[in-house]
């Protein structure tokens, strides 16, 4: 599924990577546990989390996820945004909660990347 | 003992949460630039990241050393800190002494040391209470766990 389509169904705001929305993602890792994402994320997955600390971007880079979506309307600070830009990592935010975000993506055919 | 092809040591400061993980990211770049197998790089970087986070969360000062031989990637993370009283307990998945601040950042699930052990082919932890802790981890180049 294209990131642009995901943006549309989750009504996301794009914070980083407006020009990278044509990329495809097939799997999702969703967690607020950073060690859990480190331990289980598949490279190439879409990462969904409610934690916006700069560590979320570092971990996204370390496990090679393709993009990050923050739920519950969370927004990372400028340092995290700058780091994401440095790594060419698209970052989006949705007002939806974790449950609805995952439900919508699951119904759209995305699979677990954990 | 196989000859070392590369050795790099990075300093890590306890409590510096904004920079935590930066050294692991540098190690990832170094290993990737060497053209090593991505799954070996992935496992090594998870080891480096979790160990670096532990230094930031629990210790005062520390170092992360990366060494490469023709046979293995070696990581040695040494800190000056409170040390670990009960190593077996610390290695138990789910056990954590993390503070609320660390948990709010998504750490403190009791997965750090187990994650290191799971991703390393060889793992050793030496600790002295009141002095510090050193983690030795090796990822063999011919392994593919």
Residues of A in contact with B38 (CB under 8 A): 43
Domain that holds residue A91: 3-112
Whole-prediction pTM value? Answer: 0.92
Q: Cα separation of A58 and B106, whole Å?
A: 13
Determine whether the interchain pair B118/A39 forms a contact, defined as Cβ–Cβ distance below 8 Å. yes
B91 touches chain A (CB under 8 A): no
A98 touches chain B (CB under 8 A): no
- The residue among A50, A55, A57 with the most chain B CBs within 10 A of its CB, best to mutate, is A55
The domains of chain B, with CATH numbers, are 4-140 (3.30.565.10)
Residues of B in contact with A79 (CB under 8 A): 18
Identify the pLDDT of residue B1: 66
Q: Cα separation of A68 and B70, whole Å?
A: 36
Question: CA dist A114 to A39, A87, B25, Å?
Answer: 9, 22, 21
Q: Which of A38, A53, A63 sits opposite B105 (nearest CB)?
A: A53
Domain count, chain A: 1
Residues of A in contact with B28 (CB under 8 A): 61-62
Is this complex's ipTM strictly greater than 0.90? Answer: no
Going by C-alpha positions, the residue among B78, B35, B15, B42 that lies closest to residue A62 is B42
Taking 50 as the pLDDT cut, the residues of chain B under it are none
- The CATH number covering residue A38 comes to 3.40.1390.20
Query: pLDDT band at A42, cuts 50/70/90?
Result: confident
Question: CA dist B73 to A69, A73, B76, B111, B116, Å?
Answer: 33, 41, 10, 22, 14
Identify the pLDDT of residue B135: 97
């Amino acid at each position: 599924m294209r990131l642009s389509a995901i943006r549309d169904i989750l009504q996301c705001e794009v914070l980083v990577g407006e020009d990278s929305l044509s990329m495809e993602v097939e799997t999702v890792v969703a967690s607020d546990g950073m060690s859990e994402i480190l331990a289980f994320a598949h490279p190439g997955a879409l990462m969904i989390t409610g934690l916006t600390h700069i560590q979320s971007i570092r971990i996204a880079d370390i496990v090679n996820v393709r993009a990050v979506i923050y739920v519950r309307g969370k927004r990372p600070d400028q340092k995290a945004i700058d780091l994401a830009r440095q790594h060419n990592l698209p970052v989006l935010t949705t007002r939806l909660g974790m449950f609805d975000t995952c439900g919508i993506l699951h119904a759209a055919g995305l699979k677990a990347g954990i | 003992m196989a000859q070392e092809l590369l050795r790099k040591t990075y300093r890590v400061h306890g409590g510096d949460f904004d920079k935590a993980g930066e050294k692991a990211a540098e190690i990832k770049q170094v290993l990737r630039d060497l053209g090593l197998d991505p799954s070996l790089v992935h496992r090594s970087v998870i080891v480096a990241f979790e160990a670096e986070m532990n230094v930031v969360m629990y210790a005062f000062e520390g170092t992360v050393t990366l060494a490469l031989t023709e046979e293995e990637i070696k990581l040695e993370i040494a800190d000056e800190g409170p040390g670990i009283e009960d190593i077996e307990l610390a290695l138990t998945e789910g056990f954590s002494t993390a503070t609320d601040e660390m948990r709010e950042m998504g750490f403190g699930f009791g997965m750090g040391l187990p994650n290191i052990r799971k991703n390393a082919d060889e793992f050793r932890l030496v600790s002295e209470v009141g002095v510090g802790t050193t983690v030795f981890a090796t990822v063999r180049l011919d392994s593919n766990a």
